[in-house]
Amino acid sequence: MKILRTIAATRRFRSQARGRVVLVPTMGALHAGHAALIRRARSLAGMAGSVVVSIFVNPTQFGPKEDLSRYPRPVSQDQTLCASLGADAIFHPPAGEMYRADFSTWVHEECVSGGLCGASRPGHFRGVTTVVLKLFTIVQPDVAVFGLKDFQQCAVIARMVRDLDLPVRLVFAPTVRERDGLALSSRNAFLAPEERAETPSLRRGLLAARAAFLAGEGSAAKLVRIVRGEISRSARVDYIEAVDSATLQPVRETKHGDTIALAAFFGRTRLIDNIQLR
Ligand code: PAF
């Protein structure tokens, strides 16, 4: 497995690659959710193709009060995991390789990035779209694999790929969960044991709302109340919203295929999750 630290080396790797190149963009601190994405990438690439995992803690998607400096960076553990899953290369650039000191060009999606996490994390999706476009132009993948836990991120990237005619196929893989329902996330490592114990209430709330929807409850407000009612009192809810899965616009009356998305703080740790009403 090659470790690529520069854009030039990555472009050389790309120009020599045979078959399909599949990219898994990550910020490292890899867990079983990422492992599932890398396995999916391996099967999409086939024997002849190449899997590239990018590991870059992207500073531009963190707000000034967010957890950039404490974001975990277990580099050698990540490399071992990627190698064991059959990745062909890791693109792991230093920040200066991605952002020159006078960097001044941004990609800003203006519709689906506005609500949900976009409303509570101003600038977050501008950082995501900018770095993902850079990763696409550097690695030039045929296919890129993202996890559906970051449901809004998937929608924003899909819109960017469509609007800018980027020649990459997107694959969105299902969320991987702990046995008690907590969605895997690198941020789970920050949870104190007593906070961790309360987190399954997120999934419980979403499942209860979906069960109510399937039993005939269509009101978005009522479904949101059901989710909120299940979430542990010790959590601070950032948002719970029922939205159209394609436009991410809030709905009053839910329909088959809509999504309920949420974000909540357990202590200082902000977790997100979502469920599709189907
Ligand atoms: O989902 C993530 O880990 C990041 O937002 C991504 C897509 C790698 C961009 O930095």
pLDDT value for 222: 98
Atom of ligand 1 nearest to the CA of 58: 10
CB 52 within 8 A of CB 141: yes
Q: Active site includes 124?
A: no
- Band of pLDDT at residue 215, cut at 50, 70 and 90: very high
Distance CA 216, CA 21 (A): 44
**Ligand 1 nearest-atom number relative to CA 57:** 10
pLDDT of residue 242: 98
Kindly report the backbone phi and psi dihedral angles of residue 213, in degrees, each rounded to the nearest multiple of 5, phi listed first: -60, -45
Say whether both 235 and 126 belong to one domain: no
Average pLDDT, stretch 262-276? 97
Work out how many domains the chain is built from and give that number.
2
44: domain range? 2-173
On whether both 149 and 70 belong to a single domain, the answer is: yes
The residue out of 173, 208, 239 marking a domain boundary is: 173
**pLDDT value for 67:** 84
| 127 and 255 in a common domain | no
| The two structure tokens encoding residue 251 | 């709905």
Q: Which of 152, 173, 194 is the last residue of a domain?
A: 173
Shared domain for 151 and 211, answered yes or no, is: no
Q: Whose CA is nearest to atom 6 of ligand 1?
A: 26
Q: What is the mean pLDDT of residues 151-171?
A: 98
Burial of 62-91, coded b for 16+ CB within 10 Å and e otherwise, reads: beeeeeeeebbeeeeebbebbeebebbbbb
CATH number of domain containing 241: 3.30.1300.10
Dist. CA 262–CA 92, nearest whole Å: 31
pLDDT band at 134 (very low <50, low <70, confident <90, very high): very high
Which residues approach ligand 1 with their CB closer than 6 A?
25-27, 58, 61, 128, 131-132, 150, 153
Give percent above pLDDT 70 in the chain.
100
Q: Whose CA is nearest to atom 2 of ligand 1?
A: 26
Residue 82 sits in a domain of what CATH number? Answer: 3.40.50.620
DSSP-assigned letters across all residues of 44-100: HHTTTSEEEEEE---GGGS-TTSSTTTS---HHHHHHHHHHTT-SEEE---HHHHS-
* Domain end residue (candidates: 173, 202, 229): 173
Average pLDDT over residues 131-149: 98
pTM, two decimals, is 0.96
Pair 253, 235: CB distance under 8 Å? no
Q: For the residues 100-127, what does the mean pLDDT come to?
A: 98
Hunting for tokens 């009060």 — which residue is that?
A: 65
